[in-house]
Amino acid sequence: MDLNYTASQKAFREEVRSWLTENVPKEPLKSFDTEEGFRQHRAWEAKLNQGRWGMVTWPEELGGRGCNLIEWLIFEEEYYRSGAPLRVNQNGIFLLGPTLMEFGTEEQKARFLPMMATGEEVWAQGWSEPDAGSDMAAIRSKAERVGDHYVINGQKTWSTRAVWADWVFGIFRTDPESSRHKGLTFILVPLDAEGVSVRPIEQLDGLPGFAEIFFDDVKVPVENVLGGEGMGWHVAMSTAGFERGLMLRSPARFQETARRLLELYQENREQADLDPAIGEAVTRAYMDAEAYTLSTYMTASRLMQGDKIGPESSTNKIFWSELDQTMHETALSILGARAELWSHAPDAGAVGSWLDGFLFSQAGPIYAGTNEIQRNIIAERMLGMPRA
């Protein structure tokens, strides 16, 4: 791996920076867990796509730029540095998009990817089911083949973005005699289909960031199956690999948080230095964010040479989720009593965003598969240890 940027990569960085400087909204958008904020973020996705920045790694014929993974990392670094809005369609563009590239038919790619890139169709994730905990294979929702369509019955829960999203992807049991990983099929379902109902679930901050989805004799055409009937677990594991690996949480997100943490420490040094452990925690957070960045560049280089992400994606997921928690806990320690200010409090200013970030970071060790599950994967598949 060459640690020096090429002239072409430097020019690409300048192009990204220039566009973002001219186009990033001057005022922060409302949370995409509100109806107004969701509309604002959907409009931002459209603007990104107009500039051909919606999904830079996609092929040009599908609205992307055909960038490689190193260029994607550069784009992400400039994106977070500019303070651009978070991506409301991240389930689509970072998880389902790559899965469609790998398993989708040409018709499916042409149908779904362009609408995903423009934000005209925002996607929710439908993995979890009631009483299943973190066990993705404990699927009870069924899809029965009837002629040229499937009839779906069941329930998904903790579905991110589902309150105002347009589509959901998930796995359903198509073989009633099967159990666990077998007999599952990956199906794309429109949330406005007859028989679908969505019930919001409040997050820690009181906003409906999640939802339950109920399927009552919902009919979807056979062409909405991704990867073939019975191949659902195989397809879903690829999607989970994207989620835990590179695409969902780029290192730029944590580099930017580490930079803000260092700035916060320097602005409040007189108070922060009363506890010597805080300075050490800030230093460690900054170094860990840089280490994760270098590790990701190494992984990207390996993938560009034809390799694939394996169970080591679980180590990424544990590392970034725990790093995010540590950085926000350190920030709250620096702020003291001011850490309790919500972002919408009259005198909160930039301080309030730390509480929002802290609350969100508590979900990191849970979503995308709990860290306990990831440690089991590491023990069994990477270290060859016996199942407990």
DSSP-assigned states of every residue in 289-316: HHHHHHHHHHHHHHHHTT----TTHHHH
User: Can you give the pTM of this predicted structure?
Assistant: 0.88
Structure tokens at 373: 């599950």
Q: 211, 199 in Cβ contact below 8 A? A: yes
Q: 230, 192 in Cβ contact below 8 A? A: no
d(CA 86, CA 91): 12
**What 3-state class would DSSP assign to 113?**
helix
For 200-232, b/e burial (b = at least 16 CB within 10 A) is eeebeeeebbbbbbbbeebebeeebbbbebbbb
Provide mean pLDDT across the span 21-33.
93
Amino acid at 283: T
**What 3-state class would DSSP assign to 159?**
coil
Give me the half-sphere count of Cα atoms (radius 13 Å) on the Cβ side of residue 50.
Answer: 9
d(CA 77, CA 256): 8
Per-residue confidence band for 244, with pLDDT thresholds at 50, 70 and 90: low
pLDDT of residue 309: 76
Q: Determine whether 243 is an active site residue.
A: yes
Provide mean pLDDT across the span 172-194.
93
Which of 78, 212, 243, 256 is catalytic? The answer is: 243
- Flag the least confident range among 117-121, 131-135, 231-235, 339-343: 131-135
pLDDT of 299 over the 80 cut: yes
d(CA 199, CA 367): 19
Q: CATH class for domain 248-381?
A: mainly alpha
Mention every residue, 6+ apart, whose C-beta is less than 8 A from residue 328: 257, 354, 357, 358, 361
d(CA 46, CA 43): 5
Helices assigned H by DSSP within the chain: 7-23, 35-50, 69-82, 90, 97-103, 106-118, 232-244, 251-267, 269-272, 276-304, 313-335, 352-361, 371-377
pLDDT of residue 242: 66
Phi then psi for 197, rounded to 5 degrees?
-130, 145
Domain ranges in the chain are 5-86, 121-229, 248-381
Q: Domain spanning 121-229: which superfamily?
A: Butyryl-CoA Dehydrogenase, subunit A, domain 2 (2.40.110.10)
pLDDT of residue 243: 62
**What 3-state class would DSSP assign to 110?**
helix
Residue 329: how many other CB atoms lie within 10 Å: 14
Amino acid at 41: H
pLDDT of 1 over the 70 cut: no
pLDDT of 10 over the 70 cut: yes
pLDDT > 90 in the chain, percent: 66
Residue 191: how many other CB atoms lie within 10 Å: 22
Burial of 243 (0-12, 13-18, 19+ CB in 10 A): buried
Q: Domain spanning 5-86: which superfamily?
A: Acyl-CoA dehydrogenase/oxidase, N-terminal domain (1.10.540.10)
